Amino acid sequence: MREVLIIGGGAAGLMAAVAAKEQNAAARVVLLEAGARVGKKLLSTGNGRCNLTNVGARAEDYASAEVAEVLAQNTPRRVMERFERMGLVCRLEGEGRVYPASDAASSVLDALRLTAAHLGVEEVVGFCAEQVMRGKKGFTVRAQDERSAQGDRLILACGGRAASQCTGYALAEKLGHTVTQLRPALLPVKTDGAGIRGLNGVRCRCVATLLCDGRTVLREEGEVLFKDFGLSGIAVFQLTRAMARQEGQFEIELDLLPQMGDAQAEELILRRAQALSWRGSEAFLLGMFHKNVSANLLKMAGIGPGRMEGVPEAQLRKLARLMKHWRHAVTGVQGFQNAQVTVGGVPMSEVDGKTLASCVCPGLYLAGEILDVDGPCGGYNLQWAWASGAAAGTYAAKE
C-alpha cells in the first residue's frame, strides 16, 4: 500500500492530501502540521476573504522558473471546479479575482478539511518536523517531541518564510536540495520620510514606478497607502517582487496624474493658477488630492501661504513636475513577518517540471512556496499552491 507523508498543513499541503486520496483511495495519506491546527495562514488571506485564485493567471506571471506544465494540469478554472466539488461556491470579481461566495476564508479551509477527512486523510497537528531520513523502505520524519512518522513517499509543502516559522528549507537541504537566497516580497517599504509627513493612513490611486540606480524597472497602477514609515498598498507590494531580485539604490516614483503627460500637467496647473488666482495656496489643489497630500506637494514646490496670484511660474512648473514624478528613496522593507510571499527557495530545476518529483532524492516531492516560485498579488500565489499541491499529491500517490 502506498504511504504518503505530507509535511505542512497549509494551502499546498491540504490540496496535496486531497489530490493524493482522489488519485489512490487505498493510499495511506498522513498530513503533518507543526501548528495547533491546519490552514491557519489561509484564514488571513485576502483580508479574511481569501482571494483563492485568479482566472487570468498564466505561467509567465510567475518568477523565477518555468511552471507551465504544473499550471496546465490545474488551471484556475479547474481549481474552481475542484472547490465546487468540495461544496464551495466561487464568485468572480474585478481583475479576475475569485473569492468564496461566503466572503469568508474559513469557508475555503472548511471545504478542504471536510473533504480531506471524508477521504480518509490522517491529520496530525503539533508535529514540528525536525529531522527527515531516507532509507531503503522510504522516509522517517521525527518531530521535536520525539514522535515519528514513516512513509514511502514524502511531500514537502512547508510554505515559505513569509509570516511563518518555516523549517522546510532545512529539511530540503538535508535531502540533497539547494536553497537560493530568501527575501520577503509583497509587503510595505520603508522610505526616507521626505514628503510623507502627516500622511499616515492616506490613500491615493496613481502609477508607482520602481527605479533602481535611476533606471526604470517596473510600473504598477493601483492604490498606494501612505504610512508613517513609508509606502504600502497593492501597487507598492507588486514592486517589491522586483526589488527582491535586484541590487542597487531603489526609489519609488509616484505619478498622481497618470492620465496625462508632463506637458499637459504643466498646462493644467498654469491654467488653474490663472483661473484660481484669488485662492489661497492651501486651497489651490482642493478637489484634486487629499488635503495633506496637497500640503506636502506645495511645501516641496516652495509655495508658501498667500494668494496664488503671487506664485512665480517656475514654482508652478515645479509643482506640476512633482505631481508626475514624486520620488521616495527606499531605505528598506518591513521584513518577513509582514510579507505575503517569499522570493527564493528550492530551484524548479531540481524537480520534475510536471510531477514536482525531486531530481536528487527519489520518492520526494515539493509543492507550494518552498519552491522558488512567486506571483503577484491577486490570487496568483494561492493558485500556485493549489496547482503544485495537486500535482505533487497526484503523482506521489500513484502506484
Quote the mean pLDDT of the chain. 95
Q: Over the stretch 367-391, which tens digit does the pLDDT of each residue have?
A: 999 999 999 999 999 999 999 999 9
Q: What percent of the chain has pLDDT over 90?
A: 92
- Mean pLDDT along residues 279-290: 95
Higher pLDDT pick, 188 / 46: 188
- Mean pLDDT along residues 18-38: 96
* Under 8 Å between Cβ of 253 and 325: yes
Q: Over the stretch 143-194, which tens digit does the pLDDT of each residue have?
A: 999 999 999 999 999 989 875 666 799 999 999 999 999 999 999 999 998 7
**Euclidean distance between CA atoms 163 and 156, whole angstroms:** 18
Write down the pLDDT at residue 356. 98
Confidence category of residue 329, pLDDT binned at 50, 70, 90:
very high
Confidence category of residue 46, pLDDT binned at 50, 70, 90:
confident
Write down the pLDDT at residue 136. 87
- Mean pLDDT along residues 324-337: 95
**Euclidean distance between CA atoms 307 and 279, whole angstroms:** 5
> Strand order of the sheet with strand 90-92?
53-54, 97-100, 90-92
Write down the pLDDT at residue 194. 79
- Mean pLDDT along residues 293-299: 96
Q: What is this structure's pTM?
A: 0.93
- Mean pLDDT along residues 85-91: 97
- Mean pLDDT along residues 54-58: 96
- CA angle in degrees (0–180, nearest 5) for 306-309-312: 90
Q: What percent of the chain has pLDDT over 70?
A: 98
Write down the pLDDT at residue 264. 98
Write down the pLDDT at residue 164. 63
Output the 3-class SS for the chain.
Answer: CCEEEEECCCHHHHHHHHHHHHHCCCCEEEEECCCCCCCCHHHHHHHHCCCCEECCCCHHHCECCCCHHHHHHCCHHHHHHHHHHCCCCEEECHHHEEEECCCCHHHHHHHHHHHHHHHCCEEECCCCEEEEEEECCEEEEEECCCCEEEECEEEECCCCCCCCCCCHHHHHHHCCCCCCCCEEECCCEEECCCCCCCCCCCEEEEEEEEEECCEEEEEEEEEEEECCCEEECHHHHHHHHHHCCCCCCEEEEEECCCCCCHHHHHHHHHHHHHHCCCCEHHHCCCCCCCHHHHHHHHHHCCCCCCEHHHCCHHHHHHHHHHHHCEEEEEEEECCHHHCCEEECCECHHHECCCCCEECCCCCEEECHHHECCECCCCCHHHHHHHHHHHHHHHHHHCC
Domains identified in the chain and CATH numbers: 3-183+339-397 (3.50.50.60), 188-334 (no CATH)
- Mean pLDDT along residues 198-224: 96
- Mean pLDDT along residues 307-313: 94
**Euclidean distance between CA atoms 96 and 53, whole angstroms:** 8
Lowest mean pLDDT among 17-26, 121-130, 159-168, 265-274: 159-168
Confidence category of residue 64, pLDDT binned at 50, 70, 90:
low
Write down the pLDDT at residue 253. 98
Q: Over the stretch 96-111, which tens digit does the pLDDT of each residue have?
A: 999 999 999 999 999 9
Write down the pLDDT at residue 165. 60
Write down the pLDDT at residue 299. 95
